[in-house]
Each structure stands twice: as C-alpha cells, then as structure tokens.
C-alpha cells in the first residue's frame, strides 16, 4: 500500500494538494478550466472576493504550478497548467492500484490462515 | 457525471472466509499491521488517532496517522487520513483528508470487501485534466458542475 503512496508524496505534490484544497481556489480553477485565459476582473466576477483576495489565491496556485499568470497589455491574464493537474491524476491512479495490492495481501493473509 | 464518481476510488475483493474472520483481519491491529505493512500500537476504536510506522522495505520508519471514524461490526470500518502525506517536517493537520471505508458483504463461499477512498474533490481536478486533454466540452461541463458545488457549499 505504502511504497507507491510514499513514492507519490513528494514535497511538490503536497504543495499542489494544499493549493487545491481550498474552496476559493477550486472555484478559480473551475473558471480557468474553461480554457480561456482570464483577467482578475473576470475571475472575481459574481463573487464577493476583492481583486486583492483573488490575486493572493492565484499566486498560491501559481507557486504550486497549477496556474500561470501572463501580462497582456495592461492586464494580467491567468490560465491553468494542465500538466501539473495531470501529474496529480497519475497519482490518483497509483493510489487505486495500491488498494488493489493491499486487498490482495488481505486476501492472501486471511485465506492462508484459514482452517480447512 | 456525479460529483461522487469523480472524487473517489473504489476497489473490492472476494475473500474465501466468513465475514467475522475478515472483519477481524481488518480491525485487529496486530492482524492489520501484517498485511498493511505497518507497525502500530493501540487499538482500533472510533475516535482513535493511531500513529503507524511503515515496515515495507525501502520506506521503513516513515510515519503516518490514521483517524478512526466508524466501526460497525462486520458492516463498516472507516478512517480518515491525508492522501500521500508522509513527507517529514510538513504539517498536514490543516490539509484535506480522504475517507477510507471498508464494507463487508456475504457472497457465496465467503465475503466481499469493498474499499472506497473518497474526498478527492480537490485532487479529482486532476482526473478532469485528462478530459481537458481529450474533450474540452466535457471538461467545461464538469467544471461547471464543480463550480456550482463549490459555490453552494461555500
């Protein structure tokens, strides 16, 4: 169970998971996931968040490699970095196969010890 | 797609043994430790926070914590933990946990155990990254559902 789970848990992954483990940032990611780079005004539209608050959350996402900000003219536009998200997805797949292994060990352990 | 389907892992196995036997293999800490590959002290009881040390070669000595939630004999055993959280020196206490639930069911000649690890809402974005690659429309649809969920639960 643990070999892969441990393997997967690099410091960087921990940062990505922490970055995504926040409802506001999930909302921002959801908006960015439409694919089009968005300005901070677009990202904060319809929410009660200030531009400063949105900017702060975007920087957390940027630090984790989940989103990138680029200057376009006078405005910053933000977009997702799908490569980073794909890496986390691969880890989910690894966790699933770790459960397969763990259950196989459980089965072997119980069945080898059973009274016939 | 339901949110739950995007945010959980489900696996099951058939074991040729009675339910009571399988329940014991899961909830007796000594038995659990053997097949799970850990050493630990204490007892599985609801509310307990158990420190476990990995015994698997190559990772031996790494520590993680498991918070026991429910123990309904031969029906349900569940705990919470942090996904992938064993990096030394990092405080994971504020990070989201995932919930691990084992359910037991009689099946001809033995018991079926199903494990569900859920709570990957945050992490499951990554799954959707695949859809993003393959199908932008699908991604948008799912993200709209996610946005709705996040807003409603905020």
Residue-wise pLDDT tens digits, B86-135:
556 666 666 667 889 999 999 999 999 999 888 766 545 544 444 444 43
Residues in Cβ contact with B76 at an 8 Å cutoff, skipping those fewer than 6 apart = B70, B101, B102, B103, B104
Range from A33-37, B3-7, B11-15 carrying the lowest mean pLDDT: B3-7
pLDDT recorded at residue B128: 47
Per-position DSSP letters for A42-62, written without gaps between them: HHHTTSS--HHHHHHHHHHHH
Q: Is the dihedral of CA A29, A34, A35, A37 positive or negative?
A: negative
Residues in Cβ contact with A75 at an 8 Å cutoff, skipping those fewer than 6 apart = A39, A40
Sheet containing A75-80: order of strands? A38-39, A75-80, A67-72
HEC string for B79-104: EEECCCCCCCCCCCCCCCCEEEEEEE
What domains sit in chain B, N to C, each tagged with a CATH number? Answer: 8-121 (3.30.530.20), 124-154 (no CATH)
Q: What confidence tens digit (pLDDT) does each residue in B29-54 have?
A: 999 998 988 999 999 999 999 999 98
Find chain B residues with C-beta within 8 A of A17's C-beta. Answer: 83-84, 95-96, 122-123
What domains sit in chain A, N to C, each tagged with a CATH number? Answer: 2-112 (1.10.10.10)
- Residue A26 has its nearest CB partner, among B15, B17, B146, at B146
Q: What confidence tens digit (pLDDT) does each residue in A20-75 have?
A: 767 788 788 888 877 788 999 889 888 888 889 999 999 988 988 889 998 888 88
Cross-chain Cβ contact A105/B37 below 8 Å: yes
First to last CA, chain A: 29
Residue A38 to residue A64: CA distance in whole angstroms: 18
Cross-chain Cβ contact A14/B90 below 8 Å: yes
- Residue B13 has its nearest CB partner, among A24, A34, A106, at A106
């Amino acid at each position: 169970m643990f070999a892969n789970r441990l393997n997967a848990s690099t410091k960087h992954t921990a940062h990505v998971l922490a970055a995504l483990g926040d409802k506001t940032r999930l909302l921002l990611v959801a908006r960015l996931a439409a694919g089009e780079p968005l300005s901070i005004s677009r990202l904060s539209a319809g929410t009660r968040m200030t531009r400063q608050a949105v900017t702060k959350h975007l920087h957390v996402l940027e630090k984790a490699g989940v989103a990138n900000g680029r200057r376009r003219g006078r405005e910053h536009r933000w977009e997702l970095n799908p490569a980073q998200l794909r890496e986390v997805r691969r880890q989910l797949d690894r966790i699933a196969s770790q459960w397969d292994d763990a259950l196989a060990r459980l089965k072997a352990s119980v069945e080898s010890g059973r009274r016939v | 797609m339901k949110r739950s389907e995007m945010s959980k892992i489900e696996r099951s196995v058939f074991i040729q043994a009675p339910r009571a036997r399988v329940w014991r293999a899961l909830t007796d800490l000594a038995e659990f430790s053997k097949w799970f590959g850990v050493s630990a002290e204490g007892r599985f009881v609801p509310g307990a926070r158990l420190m476990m040390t990995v015994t698997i070669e190559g990772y031996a000595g790494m520590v993680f914590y498991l918070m026991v939630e429910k123990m309904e004999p031969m029906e349900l055993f569940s705990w919470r933990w942090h996904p992938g959280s064993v990096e030394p020196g990092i405080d994971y206490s504020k990070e989201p946990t995932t919930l691990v639930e084992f359910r037991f069911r009689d099946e001809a000649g033995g018991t079926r155990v199903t494990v569900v690890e859920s709570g990957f809402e945050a992490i499951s974005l990554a799954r959707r990254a695949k859809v993003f690659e393959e199908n932008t429309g699908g991604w948008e649809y799912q993200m709209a559902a996610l946005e709705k969920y996040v807003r409603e639960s905020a």
